[in-house]
């Protein structure tokens, strides 16, 4: 896919990894529908940076954990753009809840945003892409979907579901819409993690360093541009899975 002139929706695009992806797509020539939930100031700042690159950026607030929020997001998309070519499902939460301590509310909160929302965003996006003759979707997964994290069992389950969603959708939507995923490892320090712990985490990887958001954005762009790749998950983790 040639990215210049395309319209891309990035969920969770206001900050952190979602912002890096939105900016990378804008630098590649895309106009951006910039979804955010509560981060209005960050969404406005990110939109300003995209506009400074000469591309359109329309911030779109929505609570994707609710079906009405997803429907509202795509109504906003239809009002602001004449179609959709690219979807990046990036919005997610990461909350610790032990297997024996997790509540139904913990389960619902994570599954609603991390799995149900990507499914129905993908569904809405695919309908619009087919009207334009095709498109491409990238789901942002997590190495937790491939390797269980005991402190984050619900998160691990949600991301394992994202892996299967990617494969099922790639088969169901072929040949005109491709669906792939990126599973990042330690590419962006959690806000509350001490710097020393982050550095130690990197030293323990086979590549002996942590990554950066650019490692993920390069992979997203590759998956969008390569028209002969679908149903794949590219792991970007510095070899963490091998150790």
pLDDT (tens place) for every residue of the chain, 243 residues total: 999 999 999 999 999 999 999 999 999 999 999 999 999 999 999 999 999 999 999 999 999 999 999 999 999 999 999 999 999 999 999 999 999 999 999 999 999 999 999 999 999 999 999 999 999 999 999 999 998 899 999 999 999 999 999 999 999 999 999 999 999 999 999 888 899 999 998 999 999 999 999 999 999 999 999 999 999 999 999 999 887
Q: Which pLDDT score is estimated for 122?
A: 98
Domain interval for residue 77: 7-242
Q: Are 17 and 97 in contact, with CB atoms under 8 Å apart?
A: no
- Whole-number Å distance between alpha carbons of 28 and 220: 11
Q: Please give the backbone phi and psi of residue 101, each rounded to the nearest 5 degrees, phi first.
A: -105, -15
Q: Which pLDDT score is estimated for 68?
A: 97
Q: Is residue 2 domain-resident?
A: no
State the CATH number of the domain containing residue 234: 3.40.50.720
Q: Which pLDDT score is estimated for 190?
A: 87
Q: Is residue 177 domain-resident?
A: yes
pTM equals 0.96
Q: Is residue 44 domain-resident?
A: yes
């Amino acid at each position: 896919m040639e990215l210049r002139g395309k319209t891309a929706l990035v969920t969770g695009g206001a900050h952190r990894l979602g912002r890096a992806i939105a900016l990378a797509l804008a630098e590649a020539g895309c106009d951006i529908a910039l979804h955010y939930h509560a981060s209005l100031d960050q969404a406005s700042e990110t939109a300003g940076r995209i506009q400074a690159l000469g591309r359109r950026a329309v911030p779109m607030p929505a609570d994707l954990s609710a079906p009405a929020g997803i429907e509202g997001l795509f109504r906003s998309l239809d009002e602001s753009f004449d179609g959709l070519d690219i979807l990046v499902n990036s919005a997610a939460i990461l909350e610790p809840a032990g297997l024996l301590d997790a509540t139904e509310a913990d389960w619902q909160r994570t599954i609603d945003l991390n799995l149900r929302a990507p499914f129905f965003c993908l569904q809405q996006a695919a309908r619009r892409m087919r009207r334009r003759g095709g498109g491409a979707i990238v789901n942002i997964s997590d190495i937790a979907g491939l390797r269980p994290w005991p402190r984050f069992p619900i998160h691990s389950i949600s991301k394992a579901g994202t892996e299967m969603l990617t494969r099922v959708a790639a088969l169901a939507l072929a040949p005109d819409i491709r669906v792939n995923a990126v599973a990042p490892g330690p590419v962006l320090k959690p806000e509350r993690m001490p710097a020393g712990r982050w550095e130690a985490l990197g030293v323990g990887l086979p590549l002996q360093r942590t990554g950066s958001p650019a490692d993920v954005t390069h992979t997203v762009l590759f998956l969008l541009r390569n028209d002969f790749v679908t149903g794949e998950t590219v792991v970007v983790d510095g070899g963490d899975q091998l150790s």
